[in-house]
Amino acid sequence: MLLLTGGAGFIGSNLLASLNEAGRPDIAVNDILGSDGKWRNLAGRQLTEFVPPADLSRWLDGRKLDAVVHMGAISSTTATDGDLLMENNFRLSLRLFDWCAATRTPFIYASSAATYGDGAAGFSDDWSLAALKRLKPMNLYGWSKHMFDLAVVERVARKDKLPPQWAGLKFFNVFGPNEYHKGEMTSLVAKRFDDAKAGGPIRLFKSHRAGIADGDQKRDFIYVDDAVAVVRWLMETPAVSGIFNVGTGQARSFRDLVTAMFAALGREPKIEYIDMPLSIRDSYQYFTQAEIGNLRRAGFDADFTTIEEGVKRYVSGYLDRADRYR
């Protein structure tokens, strides 16, 4: 049996769907469904057990698992409750890591590109302790993820008892089905699709930096199927451990993203540019791009979906249907 924390969330539910489609039903999901419609991410899926967070420690006692895939977290970049984030994103993660070390269970977990902060120091996939200590996350969420990365690598450096496989994944800008419960954290495609389909314009920020055109602010956008493919590859490659960036390695502009959405609808792009709010203008990130050399050297050789193809799949397969869930 596999334990999948955050299995009703965005990446977690897509991983669950992919494993089900590959013929694997023996999955225990640990999550909180709440009242924001997240249960729909599990509709039509097969799982062996659903474990509420309050029952997790008791459920794990004496159990043998094939692996723990830890996608669960409070993932809002605007979260402000430090104690809650440290309990969920740091202390729970440590307890699971130590349980996996004690029981010799592979452990794969979600870190985040938010650990890189404003990107001024780049997005190197060097996970040495010295390199990690140079990172300066800009928000509480990124800091909580960074603290766990540091704790894991410190254990590695001390040669503490470790899981037989451990892997942290720094996801960049993932988009795709089942992200709808994420509110302001949903991708621009999901947030603005209905406007585009109704014939309205999509508004993007003007650039307030010399040499960068309006709408040319760039992110490493990665379709969720590719993020899932990395997780599944690690599950099938137990000799590989480390911290890896999960992005395409190719930054694309917000204008490209929106243009791809209009193309998927068979329409000419209709884009308006608006001033960036003063409150975020000085701290706005103009560029992210994952270095993925570590992932390639470890043996992951699959191609990544282009932004045009990923948006097309998202629009035609989900957003432009009555049932948008995977």
Instruction: For residues 43-69, give the mean pLDDT.
Output: 97
CATH number (domain holding residue 19): 3.40.50.720
Number of domains in the chain: 1
Which residues in 288-323 are b (16+ Cβ under 10 Å) and which e? bbbbbebbeebebeeebbbbbebbbbbbeebbeeee
Q: Would 212 be classed as within a structural domain?
A: no
In a domain, 7, yes or no: yes
Work out the number of other CB atoms within 10 angstroms of the CB of residue 113. 24
Residue 198 within a domain = no
For residue 162, being part of any structural domain is answered with yes
- Give the rounded percent of residues in the chain with a pLDDT score beyond 90: 93
| CA 63 vs CA 29, 48, 56, 108, 147: distances in Å | 15, 14, 11, 18, 28
DSSP reduced 3-state for 32: coil
To the question of pTM greater than 0.85 for the whole model, the response is yes
The answer to whether position 317 is within a domain reads: no
Give backbone dihedrals phi and psi of 219, rounded to 5 degrees, phi first.
Answer: -135, 160
Active site residues: 141, 182
pLDDT band for 283, please (50, 70, 90 cuts). confident
What confidence score (pLDDT) does residue 170 get?
Answer: 98
Residue 35 has pLDDT above 90, yes or no: no
Identify the pLDDT of residue 77: 85
The number of beta carbons lying within 10 Å of the beta carbon of residue 144 is: 27
Domain ranges, residue 143? 2-175+221-249+287-304
The answer to whether position 47 is within a domain reads yes
- Cα–Cα distance, 61 to 220 (Å, whole number): 40
Has residue 203 been placed in a domain? no
Establish if 312 belongs to a structural domain.
Answer: no
Task: Tell me the per-residue pLDDT of 168-193, one tens digit each, with 9 for 90 and over.
Answer: 999 999 999 999 999 989 999 999 99
Residue whose C-alpha is closest to residue 68's, from 7, 147, 149: 7
| Strand duo 252-253 + 218-219: pairing | antiparallel
